[in-house]
Amino acid sequence: GEDVEQSLFLSVREGDSSVINCTYTDSSSTYLYWYKQEPGAGLQLLTYIFSNMDMKQDQRLTVLLNKKDKHLSLRIADTQTGDSAIYFCAESSGDTGRRALTFGSGTRLQVQP
């Protein structure tokens, strides 16, 4: 079945860039997503990328996709303390009959002042 893996923890200093990595196994993955979860809250969609794209930039966020290696990364420029949260990578095949998202276990980002 599908599997999505992430490193568990990342610590950076305020103002530095953060890079969160994700690998997935499903070759039919069509859409890949990054969600942010703050303590006790739901998931906030940050950005997504379609599998025929290599890169997507949205303000401080840059998503890179290496489809050959099935590797996805999220770069946060000028990381702020408010960026401290758990970041989840998720994928779906986009098949209309099966729209379930498969999530990684999440990367906890700690931003030190």
Partner 1 sequence: NAGVMQNPRHLVRRRGQEARLRCSPMKGHSHVYWYRQLPEEGLKFMVYLQKENIIDESGMPKERFSAEFPKEGPSILRIQQVVRGDSAAYFCASSPPSQGRETQYFGPGTRLLVL
Contacting positions for partner 1 (CB under 8 A): 4, 31, 33, 35, 41-45, 48, 50, 88, 90, 94, 96-106
Residues in the chain: 113
Q: Which two tokens stand for residue 3?
A: 């599997």
Q: How far is the CB of 89 from partner 1 (least distance, A)?
A: 9
Rounded to a whole number of angstroms, the minimum distance from the CB of residue 18 to partner 1 is 19
Residue with smaller CB distance to partner 1, 14 or 103: 103
Shortest Å, Cβ 99 to partner 1? 6
Choice between 27 and 105, CB closer to partner 1: 105
DSSP conformation letters of 39-100: TT--EEEEEEEETT-SEEEETTEEEEEETTTTEEEEEESS--GGG-EEEEEEEE---TT---
Q: Which is nearer to partner 1, 14 or 48 (CB)?
A: 48
Q: How many CA atoms lie within 13 A of 28 on its CB side?
A: 10
Residue number with CB closer to partner 1 (59 or 96):
96
Question: Smallest distance from the beta carbon of 39 to partner 1, in angstroms?
Answer: 12
Structure tokens at 22: 């994700």
- Structure tokens that stand for 99 in this block: 């729209």
